[in-house]
Structure 1
Amino acid sequence: MPAAASASTRRAIRTATAAEGDHSPLFMGSLAKCFQVLEALNTAGRAVGLTELAQLASLDRSGVQRITHTLRVLGYLRQDPATKAFRLSGRMLEFGHTVLATDQLRERAQPHLEALNRRTSETVNLMELEGDEIVYVARYPSLHAVSVDLHVGSRLPAFCTAAGRAILSCMEPADALARLKAARRTAMTRHTVTDLAGLRAALGEAREQGYALNNQEAFIGDVSVAAPLLDPRGHPLGAVNIAVPTPRWRLEDVLARLVPQLLKTAAAINREVRHL
C-alpha cells in the first residue's frame, strides 16, 4: 500500500535526521528514541509487542522497554494485560486537536474549502509544508468513491505532489532548489518526476500559471491540482488542492472545469489571511 510504504520511508528519513542532529550538544538522543517508538506504533496501526516494537523502531529491546514503561505510566500508551502489547492511548488525541484548533490558516480557509467541495463534489484538501513533506490539515472528501484513502495528518513527499510544488514554486528559487536537492526523491509511481531538471521545470510552470499539476505522480489513477496560499509578503503558508480519479476525469476537463474554481477559492482565502 503506498501510504504504508511512505510511512516506512519517512521513519527512515527521520532516523537519519536524528543521527545528524546527534552532533549538536543541544540534541537529546533519548527524546529522539522516544519519538521513534511513538512513530513505529503509529505506523503499525495496531497493538505491538515489545520485541516487534524494538524491531520496527530500529532500537534495542532494553531501551524500548524503558521508553514504553515511561509512556505507559504517563498515560500515552496502553498495554494489553493479557498479551502485553502496546498501543497509543486516547491521550495522544489532545495534541492533534490542539494543532488543528490553533491553526489560523485552517480556520480562515474552512468555509471556502467547504464551498469548493460542495460546488465540485470532489475531494478538497488544505495542506501545509513541514520539512520536505506536505501534511493534510483539512480534508473534505468527494461524494463519489475514491481510490486514495488519506486523512487529516497524512503526509506525502512535497516534491511529487501538487500542493508541495505549489508551495515550493512561491519560495525563492534557490531555497526551493536546495530543498529539492536535500529531499529523498523516491519515485512513488512510474510517472513520478525525480530529476532536478524536471522538477525545476515543474516549479517554473506552477509559478507562471499560479497552480501546480500532479498527473498520477503520487498515486496511480489520481490527478491533483493545487494553488498556493500566501501571506501579505507573498510567502507561502500552504496550498488548497482538488484531487480526482482518472476513471471519472480527463486531464483536459480538470484544467477547464476545476482549475478556475481552485484559483477563485485560493484568491478568496488569500484575502482572508492578509492579517494573519
Structure 2
Amino acid sequence: MAAWPVSGDTFVESFAKGLSVIAAFGHERALNLTQIARRTGLTRATARRLLHTLVALGFARHDEDLFMLTPRVLQLGFAYLSTLSLRDVAQPVIESLSRAADEVVGLSVLDDLDAVYIARAEVTSVLRRPLTVGSGVPAFCTSMGRVLLAGLDPDECASRLARAERRAWTRHTVTDADALMDEIARVRGQGWSLATEQLELGACGLAVAVVDNGGKVIAALNLSTNLARHTPDILIKTFLPRLREAADEIARQLPV
C-alpha cells in the first residue's frame, strides 16, 4: 500500500490516490495497469478503479491494455504538460515565429470536441477573446480545430461533429455537418486550414498540422490575426510557408 506523508481528519486518502495515479505518468505517454500499480504502491484493483474513473471523467483514455492522460487534465493545472516533450520542443519555435510575424501563434491538441492550447506566444494581441495555455475553443469552427479533426478517421470525425454544439458564433460560422465534413476533407487533403470570422468577427486563423514520424497528426500550429491587418490571400501567401517550416521544425525535434 502507498504510504502518505500526512493523515488525519483533513486528509482525504481516496483523493490522494487519484492524484498519485495522474502523477505516476511522469514523462511517460502511456502505462499499463501493472506499471501504474507499481509506481503508486496501490493494489491493481484500486488502480483499475481509479483509472476507469479518470477515463469516465475524460481525464484519461484507454487503448487495449494501455492508459494515457488527455488534455482535459489541464483543467487541474499543468500536469498534462509535464507528460509532453511536444510543448518543450515547440515553445521556442512558436516564440520565434510570433516575433518574426508579429502575430499570435499557438500549438493545440484535440480534446474531444475542443482544440486546447498547450503552447502560445504573442507579440501584439489582435483578438478580443482572451486565450492562454489550457484554453479550449470549439474545434469545428477554428482553423486549428479543423486541422485536428482532419487527422481523425472520417467516421470518428463525423461522430464528433454530430455530438458538438455547432453554435453560430458569428453570421459567417459554418454549422451544417455536411458542409463541415466537406471542408474538413479539403483540409485533410491540403494539410492546412483557413478560418475567417468563424469564431469572432474580424478574426482570421491559419493552421497547419504537426505530424509525427508515423504520419499521425499530433497537434495543430496556428497563426491568428485580424482581417484589418491581412487579407486571407496575403495571409496564405505570406504565412503559410512559415507555418509549414515551423511545423516541420517541431516534428524534426520530437523524440522518435
* Range class of TM-score, shorter chain: 0.5 to 0.7
The 1-side partners of 2:123 and 2:95 are apart by 11
**Which contiguous aligned blocks of 4+ residues in structure 1 show a shift greater than 6 angstroms?**
25-28
Q: RMSD over aligned Cα, in angstroms?
A: 2.6
More deviation, 179-188/154-163: 179-188
Within 5 Å, which residues of 2 pair with 1:218-233?
Answer: 218-233=199-214
The 2-side partners of 1:267 and 1:163 are apart by 16
Within 5 Å, which residues of 2 pair with 1:20-169?
Answer: 95-143=76-124, 145-169=126-150
In 2 relative to 1, CA 94–192 (structure 1 residues): closer, same or farther, beyond 3 Å? Answer: closer
Secondary structure of 1:152's aligned partner: coil
Q: What code does the residue aligned with 2:91 have?
A: Q
Which has a greater percent of helix? 1
In 2 relative to 1, CA 94–219 (structure 1 residues): closer, same or farther, beyond 3 Å? Answer: closer
Aligned to 1:213: 194
The 2-side partners of 1:144 and 1:100 are apart by 24
Q: Is the 8 A contact 1:169 1:206 kept in 2?
A: yes
Aligned to 2:34: none
Q: What code does the residue aligned with 2:244 have?
A: L
Q: What code does the residue aligned with 2:226 have?
A: P
The 2-side partners of 1:147 and 1:164 are apart by 19
Q: TM-score, normalised by structure 1?
A: 0.63
Q: Is the 8 A contact 1:231 1:274 kept in 2?
A: no
Q: Is the 8 A contact 1:230 1:237 kept in 2?
A: yes
The 1-side partners of 2:226 and 2:141 are apart by 17
2:217 to 227, 233, 236: 236
Q: Is the 8 A contact 1:125 1:240 kept in 2?
A: yes
In 2 relative to 1, CA 118–273 (structure 1 residues): closer, same or farther, beyond 3 Å? Answer: same
The 2-side partners of 1:117 and 1:146 are apart by 14
- Counting matched residue pairs gives 191
Secondary structure of 1:163's aligned partner: helix
Q: What is the Cα deviation at residue 95 of structure 1?
A: 4.5
Identity of aligned residues (%): 33
Structure 2: tracts of 5 or more residues without a match? 1-48, 58-73
Structure 1: tracts of 5 or more residues without a match? 1-24, 33-92
